[in-house]
Amino acid sequence: MQKALQTQKTVVVVGAGPAGLMAAEGICAAGHQVHVYDAKPSACRKFLLAGVGGMNITHSEAYPDFIQRYYDKAEWLDTAIRQFNADALCEWIHGLGIETFVGTSGRVFPKDMKAAPLLRNWLKRLRDAGVQFHMRHKMTCLSANQVVFDHVGESVVVQADAIVLAMGGASWPKLGSDGAWLPLLSEKGVVVAPLQSANCGFYSEWSEHLKTKFAGSPLKDVAFSFTLADGNVVTKKGECIVTHDGMEGSLIYAFSKYLRDGINSSGQSSLLMDFLPLQSEAQVIKKLRNTKPKESFSKYLKRTLSITGVKTALLHESFPKEAFQTPEDLARCLKAVPVCFYKTKPIEEVISTAGGVCETSVDETLMLNVMPGVFCAGEMLDWEAPTGGYLLTACFATGHLAAKGVRDFLVRSTEC
């Protein structure tokens, strides 16, 4: 007992989201006392909101494809995600008494599609294990072994043998992830990339006709294509919404990194829309050759290809009438309708953020190089991923890796 007390350390976890709770669980399992602090009245508020429409926890695709969803950060995150991949995450969920299933898209969900039962079981297990929670504590100052919080207007100073920071990015700030930690770390010498909108909608300049008649219209059964700097083309099928000032929805979110990077580089970015992705250009031309005298252009499109509404409006938005002189010309237009964007939607309105603590600022276990004993996890690290369970998987996985880093650090500290 005396030996156990000598080796037991006190660890503070700042942030009660998935990454923070996963870190707390791993550290507590090693016999250390864990205190979780969060600025909000309850844990995992963003996690619960994300689960309202169906809790997509991870994705079932093969690992080589899975890890590439993290773009240029794939190699960096491989260490964390390989140790706690989608299969391990599902097994962990099953250990909480929650069954999962794989949807037709390959996405993995809890059987009842809800986040609340999973979180309820998890919090009970953490509390039963001895993890202590301190809510309404907002971090205001940080050092290698001390955290200062504001708690209902009073300053609270907490000492710790190790610290895990898991405070999220800056999306949905009302739920707690407001990015206020960024200047606190920057002034300590931590290299931090600016936080930017990810999985977001974009602004475009529509005509008054499109704004008035088609704002809020769904754009279904389309494919978007974006040409990368190396000449490779990324193409995805799906749907989105045409808003009065741009586009929102899952398909446009899937291109958010490419479009945002293009806007950052040149002030604008564009992609091509294929309104008939299931038909070849030759098939489209054949149908368009079935003309009728004195038939209006809109009726012609509707009769031959079922092109109506917002698709017709976007076609006119992008091309002059002279571009539709022949079936061949019109088919080329329908298969490659350009749309240009000039700005991302505000960071407080988006699903997630890019930017954060850079790879160069942490070691292989996510400990800050300039602050030994302080670890980072989750969305406050500089990575991004599309929706589809990839965001949550990386949050869980980096929390798991940070826990390992804390355990190893505390062992080294005890030996010294």
To 5 degrees, how large is the angle CA 99–CA 105–CA 107?
35
Sheet holding 107-110, edge to edge: 58-59, 107-110, 100-102
- All structural domains of the chain: 2-198+353-415 (3.50.50.60), 202-344 (no CATH)
Phi first, then psi, for residue 52 (nearest 5°) are -60, -40
Distance CA 168, CA 379 (A): 5
- For 53-89, what is each residue's pLDDT tens digit? 788 999 999 999 999 999 999 999 999 999 999 999 9
- pLDDT tens digits along 296-342: 999 999 999 999 999 999 999 999 999 999 999 999 999 999 999 99
Count of other CB atoms within 10 angstroms of residue 187: 9
Pairwise CA distance, residues 115 & 52, whole Å:
8
Q: How far apart are CA 381 and CA 195, in angstroms?
A: 10
> What confidence score (pLDDT) does residue 7 get?
75
Contact, 144 vs 188, CB < 8 A?
Answer: no
Tokens 């993290």 map to which residue?
70
User: pLDDT at position 52, please?
Assistant: 74
Is pLDDT above 50 for 236? yes
> Taking residues 274-278, what's their average pLDDT?
97
What's the CA gap between 265 and 255, in Å, rounded? 16
Four-point Cα dihedral 125, 130, 136, 141, nearest 10: -130
pTM: 0.93
Q: Give the full edge-to-edge strand order of the sheet including 217-227.
A: 337-341, 269-274, 217-227, 233-243, 246-248, 202-203, 343-344
Q: What is the pLDDT of residue 3?
A: 46
pLDDT per position as a tens digit, 2-26? 444 457 899 999 999 999 999 999 9
Check pLDDT > 50 for residue 1: no
